[in-house]
Homo-oligomer: A and B are copies of this chain.
Amino acid sequence: MKIKYISGGICAPTGFSAAATHCGVRPNKKKNDIAIILSDTNADCVSAGLYTTNHVKAAPVQLDIETGRSGHCRAICVNSGIANACAPNGMKHAKEMQEAAAEALGLSPNEVLVGSTGIIGKELNIHRIREGIQVVSANLEHSEDASNEVARAILTTDTFKKELACRMNIGGKTITLGGISKGSGMVHPNMGTTLTYLTTDLAITATMLRQVLKEVCDVTFNRVSIDGEMSTNDSLIILANGLADNDIIDRECKELDQFKEALLDICTKFARMIAKDGEGAKHLVTCTVQGASDEEEAVTLAKSVIRSTLTKTAIFANDANWGRIMVAMGYSNISFNPEHVQIDFISESGQITVCRNGVGVEIDEDYASEILGEDEVTILITIDNGNASATCWGCDITYDYIKLNGSYRK
């Protein structure tokens, strides 16, 4: 199936409008901090969401898990600056935010999901949120610019906005899928993701939408680690309003597989963007493990390597210190024969085998540094347990990670 990337972000699919503004939760007046995404009310919109598995969940996440159970939400109201997690009056404010958005949009609160991202433990300034909701609800637009503004509104320490849209043909109809996402710290597998909001004009049941979202999330967002931290606020939400007028997808079928293919494609791109924009990161690191006995084993090994702080410092320094990769594999609780391990580094500059049969290969260190000097580097690990493989994404750790996170609240 051909997937064509287009502009327009979350407003690219038919029937989605959006707006964002600065309402004052964040001190910097140039930064948007409140936004709304809405499916037109003439459509029968369904929704699905996946949330952080952290035991400590922000109030908006707790509320969305309840609200989202119906699978019939059509709007998302989100703020940045304060996470509304472990915050005084957290649930009260999350509900007030939901109610204020619903009222402004002429919806029932049951149709509105809410999200927050930012500092944990601080009270949300609900008066500013209310004012912001008034402004954005009056300015909703079906435009590329509107999507842009919303994409900017959810950023925290991200250095670039993450916005994509793509188009494909499913069941004789043109289907559009759009999305926005944010990183860039507190990112680790086994959660929904960070904040990612997707929109599509596909006609699909809430049940099938949830199923396909879960399957795709497991192999994309759940395979990213920036810093081993898992946020209280991670949310991955998709709205599907059916305005593309395809025959509704209500079971396993070819059309579902096609939509899954597109969803996988866009979410893989977002996952890589999040890894690439990891706080302070200079390298996007892809780790592929092959020769595992099953996919789970490959994922466990790759995640252990991606998470390893010492491996991340070596990549930062363009240093082919592969011993640290062996160390991280060794403490992953996976059984493998160290004497049958091969490790390669790959980038645009070439490929080099640094470890064969579990021991060091004499290498040209300068060439290895050149390979590791590229922005995108792949660590290819081969073991001999079987035929399964998996890929995870991460980044290096730099002075800027420490600088950013040492001054985050200032």
Contact = CB atoms under 8 A, between A and B. Distances in A.
Interface of A: 53-57, 83, 85-88, 90, 119-123, 185-186, 188, 227-232, 307-310, 313-314, 316-317, 319, 321-324, 326-336, 338, 355, 358-360, 397-399, 401-403, 405-410
Contact of A355 (B86, B90, B232): B86
B406 A402 contact: no
Given A355-B86, A358-B86, A232 B317 contact: no
A309 B228 contact: yes
Contact of A120 (B55, B324, B406): B324
Given A309-B228, A313-B401, A326 B406 contact: no
A68 B53 CA distance: 44
Question: Which of A317, A334, A336, A398 has the most CB atoms of chain B within a 10 A radius of its CB?
Answer: A317
Given A120-B326, A330-B230, A336-B55, A405 B313 contact: yes
Nearest to A123: B360
Nearest to A90: B359
B402 A402 contact: yes
A53 B360 CA distance: 22
Given A121-B359, A327-B229, A314 B85 contact: no
A228 B304 CA distance: 11
Contacts of A399: 399, 402-403
Nearest to A321: B409
A310 B398 contact: no
A329 B55 contact: yes
Given A86-B355, A228-B228, A323 B121 contact: yes
Contacts of A319: 406-410
Contacts of A314: 405-406, 408
Contact of A360 (B121, B227, B407): B121
Contacts of A88: 359-360
B321 A408 contact: yes
B406 A313 contact: yes
A283 to B, nearest CB: 12
Contact of A231 (B316, B322, B327): B327
Question: Which of A55, A232, A307, A335 has the most CB atoms of chain B within a 10 A radius of its CB?
Answer: A55
A141 to B, nearest CB: 35
